[in-house]
Amino acid sequence: MEKSLSQIFLFLTTFLLLQILFRRSHASEYTRHPPRPVILTPHKGPDSDPQQVHISLAGKDHMRVSWITADKQVESIVDYGKEPGKYEASATGEHTSYHYFFYSSGKIHHVTIGPLDASTTYYYRCGGSGTEFNLRTPPSTFPIEFVVAGDLGQTEWTNSTLAHVNARDYDVLLLPGDLSYADTNQPLWDSFGRLVEPHASRRPWMVTEGNHEVEIFPIVYPRGFKAYNARWLMPYQDSGSKSNLYYSFDVVGTHIVMLGSYADFDANSDQYKWLEAELAKVDRSKTPWIVVILHAPWYNSNSAHRGEGESMRKAMEEMLYKARVDLVFAGHVHAYERFTRVYNNGADPCGPIYMTIGDGGNREGLAMTFENPSPSISLFREPSFGHGRLRMHNHTHAHWSWHRNNDSDSVVGDEVWLESLSSVTACKETFEGPASSASESSASESSASESSASESSASEKDEL
Ligand SMILES: *[C@@H]1O[C@H](CO)[C@@H](O)[C@H](O)[C@H]1NC(C)=O
Ligand SMILES: *[C@@H]1O[C@H](CO)[C@@H](O)[C@H](O)[C@H]1NC(C)=O
Ligand SMILES: *[C@@H]1O[C@H](CO)[C@@H](O)[C@H](O)[C@H]1NC(C)=O
Ligand SMILES: [Fe+2]
């Protein structure tokens, strides 16, 4: 992809008008902390070399390896094994490509490998030759640690967030939407893929879509998501979903539901019916934790994107509440915010904890203005770049921490122990409306230590 950089300049001009059209819909007035420059990451090396390598969980004991080659002759094959340079297994997959106006993508390869052993490092190469990568599979039992980071983009702040993510071990990254901020400028999708490759080729990245993935153009591309669906294929078929825009998967006692804020969600929609059937199937004895990820927050006390998640909340909140979902993560608002357990706009000991974690580091900068005074259901909020970590310790307890970027340091800004609703007796009753009778004291959150502990001391205690 030698042409990438010159393409970027071509597209910057060609799509100026498009950019203006797209931005209009989500322009906002708030003052922002200084964003940092976009990093353009070129491809160095021959066209046949794999680039933009990333992996995702693909059903029990399997992993999907996705990558792109400018050379269309390269085969969709992955060789892998437990020792460097020794590939005892090999798998062949599928490939795709897409056009968007004058842009045509490279060959996009998706190969599923497995069965793989748990907690094991595998060495692999893509397309039969070239660079060796390595990945580690998730464990088979608790504990497991998730990183949660939304609205990443590809700026120097993104790079800083990813460096902090990488500085401490984790198993799976969850991304609540807004990846590349390409906004129809397709070469920026390639640049993003290269920026994240050192991270996304080592640990599974599980994503759902944000508004920056939509890329609808009237008449020509009325359904949108061309780049996103082709490049960031997720295991939707495994969970009976008909769309890459919403799906679910299980990993170590945790059932994760990725919802689509930009797919239909009303009571007649495929997504609604799928979610209803999907939540009914969850077996809390196998997966005591249920975590939902979506883009536009249902609860948000920032002035940015106020009310944008409201129609989805009205359509789906009751379903999540009755299923005793533990946590709901959103992005979209470029700040961090943690709510108490909530249902229907009020504190409820059997409702999910809502968090906004849209502070990965994109070019638009931070959402600085919060509503004053803070609503009582909002417990912690701060406009800073950073990332979150959710460590499931066992069936009943998990630890959440939010790590603020302080340039070269990462600082724990907020942390709290969480208790799974599956183990709260008062929430196990028949699910008929708000659990107003459930005692407040069973409400799961032990006190948040809001003091700043340094990252290094935290990481010494937790080695994973
Ligand atoms: C991004 O981060 C990596 C290491 O984390 C560093 O080597 C690289 O120079 C950074 N790039 C930019 C443009 O800041
Ligand atoms: C789960 O982990 C918490 C926190 O470490 C601990 O207090 C609790 O006893 C553990 N429960 C079981 C069943 O091991
Ligand atoms: C970074 O940490 C230093 C020292 O703790 C502090 O003075 C400074 O305000 C922090 N900066 C940010 C952006 O958090
Ligand atoms: Fe967004």
Residues with Cβ within 8 Å of residue 414, at least 6 apart in sequence: 336, 338, 380, 382, 401, 402, 448, 450
Q: Give domain status of residue 300, yes or no.
A: yes
Contact between 384 and 337 (Cβ < 8 Å): no
Question: Given this model, what pLDDT does residue 20 score?
Answer: 39
Continuous H helices in 168-224:
187-200
| Residue where one domain finishes, among candidates 90, 106, 136 | 136
Q: How far apart are CA 145 and CA 63, in angstroms?
A: 18
Which of 136, 168, 185 is the endpoint of a domain? 136
The answer to whether the CB of 141 is under 6 A from ligand 2 is no
Nearest residue by C-alpha to atom 2 in ligand 1: 159
Same structural domain for residues 206 and 271? yes
| Cβ-Cβ contacts under 8 Å for 311 (sequence gap 6 or more) | 265
The mean pLDDT value for 3-9 works out to: 49
Asked if residues 339 and 354 have their Cβ atoms less than 8 Å apart, the reply is: yes
Residue at a domain's end among 136, 163, 189: 136
For ligand 2, say whether the CB of 399 is within 6 Å of any of its atoms: no
Instruction: Let me know whether 388 and 297 are in one domain.
Output: yes
Task: Decide: 67 and 186 in contact? Cβ < 8 Å.
Answer: no
pTM attached to this predicted model: 0.88
CATH of residue 83 = 2.60.40.380
Q: Indicate if 113 and 241 belong to the same structural domain.
A: no
- Is 103 inside a domain boundary? yes
- Strand, coil or helix: what is 316? helix
Ligand nearest to C-alpha 253: 2
- Which is the catalytic residue, given 54, 255, 295, 305? 305
Q: Could you tell me if 113 and 225 lie in one domain?
A: no
Into how many domains does the chain fold?
2
**Which ligand number lies closest to the CA of residue 403?**
3
In a domain, 30, yes or no: no
Cα→Cα distances 260→191, 210, 298, 445, Å: 24, 8, 13, 28
pLDDT at 29: 36
Query: In the predicted model, is pLDDT for residue 37 greater than 60?
Result: yes
Q: Is 396 a pocket residue for ligand 2 (Cβ < 6 Å)?
A: yes
- What are 403's strand-pairing partners? 387, 412
Residue 76 to residues 79, 84, 90, Cα–Cα distance (Å) = 10, 20, 11
In the prediction, which pLDDT does 58 show? 98
394 lines ligand 2 (CB under 6 A): yes
Residue nearest ligand 2's atom 14 by CA = 394
Clarify whether residues 323 and 346 are in a common domain.
Answer: yes
Residues with CB under 6 A from ligand 1: 39, 156, 159, 163
Domain that holds residue 101: 51-136
Catalytic annotation on 305?
yes
Check whether residue 178 and residue 109 sit in a common domain.
no
Same domain, 98 and 214: no
Ligand 3 mean position, distance from CA 314 (Å): 40
Query: What tens digit of pLDDT does each residue of 234-273 get?
Result: 999 999 999 999 999 999 999 999 999 999 999 999 999 9
Tell me: the pLDDT tens digits for 271-294? 999 999 999 999 999 999 999 999
* H-only helix segments in 201-309: 226-231, 270-281
Beta pairing class for 107-113 and 94-96: antiparallel
Amino acid at 177: G
Side-chain half-sphere exposure of 281, counting CA atoms within 13 A: 14
Amino acid residing at 187: P
Q: Select from 120, 201, 108, 209 the least CA-distant residue to 162.
A: 201
**Listed residue (70, 203, 195) closest to 133, CA to CA:** 203
Omega prior to 139 cis, within 30 of 0: no
Structural domain contains residue 296 = yes
Same domain (yes/no): 128, 224: no
Q: Residue 428: its pLDDT value, please?
A: 84
Ligand 2 site, residue 423, Cβ cutoff 6 A: no
**Assigned domain for 342 exists:** yes
Which residue, judged by its Cα, is nearest atom 10 of ligand 1? 159
| Residue 176 burial (CB count, 10 A) | 31
The finding on whether 95 has its CB within 6 A of some atom of ligand 2 is no
Q: Is 122 in the same domain as 186?
A: no
Q: Are residues 231 and 308 in the same domain?
A: yes
- Is residue 41 included in any domain, yes or no? no
* CATH number, residue 439: 3.60.21.10
Q: Is residue 43 part of a domain?
A: no
Quick: pLDDT tens for 402-454.
999 987 788 999 999 999 999 999 998 654 444 444 443 333 444 333 333 33
Q: Note whether 214 and 276 are same-domain residues.
A: yes
Q: Residue 20 falls within a domain, yes or no?
A: no
Looking at the fold, whether 303 and 452 belong to one and the same domain comes out as yes
